[in-house]
Structure 1
Amino acid sequence: MFTTKIAIVVRQDLAVWQKLNVAAFVASGIAAAVPDCIGEPYIDATGRSYARMAGQPILVFAGDLPQLQKAHRAALERDLTVVPYIEAMFATGHDAANRAVFRESNPESHHWAGLALYGERKAVDKAVKGLSLHP
């Protein structure tokens, strides 16, 4: 059993491509922020090596905007690692532009598309309390 947890929360009213895009981006943020969560390379029967990935499950939750805002506040209160993705980022074309629109967004009213959380298992559980696993 893991003492830490990785959770991704996506807004349930997004288009499927947007949900997948958000999940991929915020998962990469966890990998960058917490390199110890990455396992060893995968090697097939021929000896060919493949890239490493998270060494523990990543649970994906869905919620509406108020639920994402609540999860964000709870994550900050518990000092979790948070990877943000707001709706305005869909309209940008590169990382610097993403950071610029995020910086301009009011943290009290971010229009969340999704976020990833990492930290002690119980703290993450409290932050995502009330959310359902994504169907």
Structure 2
Amino acid sequence: MSAGQIAALIAAGAFVLLVLLLAIPLIKLGRTLDEATIAIRRAHENTDPLLHGANDTITHVNTQLQRVDGITANAQAVTGNVSALSSVFTATLGGPLVKTAALSYGITKAIRARRRARTIEAGRHARRKGARR
């Protein structure tokens, strides 16, 4: 055997060793890809019930929102009616009621002023009588 053949055998052995060392990570990578494929398949199978549940929930929420929308519309109508009723009350009874209150206040004030004037006049009259004696 010549030196070239021995060198070729050593090179071939090193190449086989290199291939064996690279085969181990490739086998592990293949197993990892298989596990990832299985996990993706399971996730895909489990999404169907999840999506159906989400769809049912969204349908229920939409129904509740329609009810709330109706309640809001009714509350808005009630608010408009109360505002109109308040305006009618103010227009029909508010003016006369304010005038009546002002009149009664004025009459009360006039009566008090008259009573004070009489009290003061009575006091003056009593002083005059006392001064004459």
TM-score by length of 1: 0.16
As a proportion of its length, which structure holds more strand?
1
TM-score by length of 2: 0.16
As a proportion of its length, which structure holds more helix?
2
**Structure with greater contact order relative to length (CA < 8 Å, sep ≥ 6):** 1
Larger Rg: 2
